[in-house]
A and B are shown apart, each in its own frame.
Chain A
Amino acid sequence: MDQNQHGQPTQEAVGKNQYQSNPMMAPTNPPSETIGPYVTSSFPREKQHAPQDIYQEQLNNFWAKQCQEIEETTDLRTHSLPYARIKKIMKADRDVRMVSAEAPVLFAKACEMFIMELTMKAWANAEDHRRRILQKSDIASAISKTDVFDFLEDIVPRDVGIPRSSIAQNFDLSMPPHQNVTYPPYYVPAMVTGRPIPDQNHHGP
């Protein structure tokens, strides 16, 4: 366990170097602000086990493939998601009045990656239970395992995981405090990144 904990800081250092090395990212990433997401991202790594290590490798391969696909694809006109629909969803917020033409296009690609990531994590959960059909509980499990997906807690019903195995029961035990904590931060997005830290500290010991 101690060795694993020591190993993770090195990964964090590598991540920081990657972000700092990018000149495009430097002006938009003040050093004080970058600490937050790294700290939040380190906690789910503590929960990882042997199969999750393989799972992490799959994620790294996924993101590497995404970069390659973007560089290799010559035709970016493939409509994975309709731009007009995305624009409507963006304008659901009354304060958002004008949107540039690039924003829906960027969101189409971002949503595609979001759906792939969510599906990949859910499928990993299905494989752990030796099932070939992806179910609602798999997605609920993927959402509960990932902190950046906290904004999706309200679409996860509480009763989904109860009839599952002991692992699911553990998730159910962790579900209520997450839900209690995430409801207020949902209205204040800035707080989402701050609140989970003390809760995870409690889970640590």
Chain B
Amino acid sequence: MPITNVTKITGQILPNNAKISYDAMDMIQQGATKYINFVTRKAKEQCQSEYRKIMNAEDLLWAMKKLGFNDYVEPLTAFVQRYRNIEGSDLFTSHKEPIPHIENNEPRPNPMPTLEILHSPVPPPVHSSKPYFSIDTSHRELIPHTENNGPSLGLEPNHMPTFEMTPLSPSVHPFESYFSIDPDTNLEILDPNDINEIYLDEFGVGCSNDAFNNVDVSALFKHDQP
């Protein structure tokens, strides 16, 4: 039995000027525990004699009377009757109590933050594809197409020597990929297809300025102007 409860009960019965030692309090505490065991053991006999498994208040009252605690029976009988009357009303109140618990549980769920993955779109290589198309038109050697080649060359003035090399493989796209990676291997692959063009280019590389001057002198001047 908790010592604090025993202290409160003894405080109710003792005068204000009275004090109680710890040993005495401990002794009363043990006495209360033994009292419960003592009465319970006697009440058990009553339950077993009637083949009942549940020990109730009447069994305890019977046991107290058998054990000599006659003075307890009358007040406890009244106490049990009062308790049963109140217990009936307590049942209704007990049903109401769990409702606020449910309400309290509802707002508890925490919203989890959703992760938004932003996919950055990769822009296609527009500049790389356009010069290839322009190179295709250069092979036709048409006057309006040459005019179109002008602004493309102007956009990339630093890559002039590359344009001189790219006309070698304008029609074949997979060869363009090889050309971009390894220009030497690309030339080797083109050997069986365009032998004449290769030889001409080889000669042209040595005297590229002279070749362009002989073929399209006006075109060269036009490219330099813008």
Contact of B8 among A80, A90, A155 (CB under 8 A): A80
| B5 engages A29 (CB within 8 Å) | no
- Residues of chain A within 8 A of B56, CB atoms compared: 100, 102-103
Q: How many residues of B are counted as interface, with CB atoms below 8 angstroms from the partner's CB atoms?
A: 67
- Residues of chain A within 8 A of B40, CB atoms compared: 89-90, 93, 96
- Residues of chain B within 8 A of A63, CB atoms compared: 71, 74-75
| A90 engages B62 (CB within 8 Å) | no
Q: Is residue A109 within 8 Å, beta carbon to beta carbon, of the partner chain?
A: yes
Min C-beta distance of A166 to chain B, whole Å = 22
Q: Is residue B139 within 8 Å, beta carbon to beta carbon, of the partner chain?
A: no
Complex: A76 Cα to B85 Cα, angstroms: 11
Main secondary structure of the interface of B (DSSP, over half): helix
Q: Is residue A120 within 8 Å, beta carbon to beta carbon, of the partner chain?
A: yes
Q: Is residue B148 within 8 Å, beta carbon to beta carbon, of the partner chain?
A: no
Complex: A115 Cα to B28 Cα, angstroms: 7
Contact with B along A148-165 (1 / 0, CB 8 A): 110110011000000000
| A136 engages B21 (CB within 8 Å) | yes
- Residues of chain B within 8 A of A70, CB atoms compared: 75, 78-79, 82
| B33 engages A89 (CB within 8 Å) | yes
| A37 engages B21 (CB within 8 Å) | no
Q: Is residue A41 within 8 Å, beta carbon to beta carbon, of the partner chain?
A: yes
Residues 67-90 of B at the A interface (beta carbon under 8 Å): 67-80, 82-84, 86-87
Q: How many residues of A are counted as interface, with CB atoms below 8 angstroms from the partner's CB atoms?
A: 75
| B20 engages A134 (CB within 8 Å) | yes
Contact of A135 among B15, B23, B62, B74 (CB under 8 A): B23
Residues 8-37 of B at the A interface (beta carbon under 8 Å): 8-10, 12-15, 17-21, 23-24, 27-28, 30-37
- Known contacts: A37-B65, A90-B40, A155-B31. The answer to whether A136 contacts B24 by CB under 8 A is yes
- From A3-11, A17-25, A176-184, A197-205, the one touching the partner chain is A17-25
CB nearest neighbor in B for A68: B75
Contact of A111 among B18, B32, B86 (CB under 8 A): B32
- From B47-55, B172-180, B214-222, the one touching the partner chain is B47-55
Complex: A81 Cα to B82 Cα, angstroms: 18
| A98 engages B53 (CB within 8 Å) | yes
Complex: A177 Cα to B76 Cα, angstroms: 34
CB nearest neighbor in A for B69: A148
| A134 engages B41 (CB within 8 Å) | no
Contact with B along A128-146 (1 / 0, CB 8 A): 0000111110111001000
CB nearest neighbor in B for A109: B79
Q: Is residue A116 within 8 Å, beta carbon to beta carbon, of the partner chain?
A: yes
| B65 engages A111 (CB within 8 Å) | no
Given contacts A114-B35, A148-B67, 11 further A-B pairs with CB under 8 A are A19-B70, A67-B74, A89-B1, A89-B40, A106-B83, A114-B31, A115-B32, A118-B31, A123-B14, A151-B35, A151-B67
Q: List 21 A-B contacts (CB under 8 A).
A: A24-B77, A62-B13, A66-B75, A82-B2, A92-B37, A95-B44, A96-B40, A98-B53, A102-B57, A105-B83, A111-B32, A112-B9, A115-B10, A115-B13, A118-B28, A118-B31, A119-B14, A119-B20, A132-B17, A135-B21, A152-B34
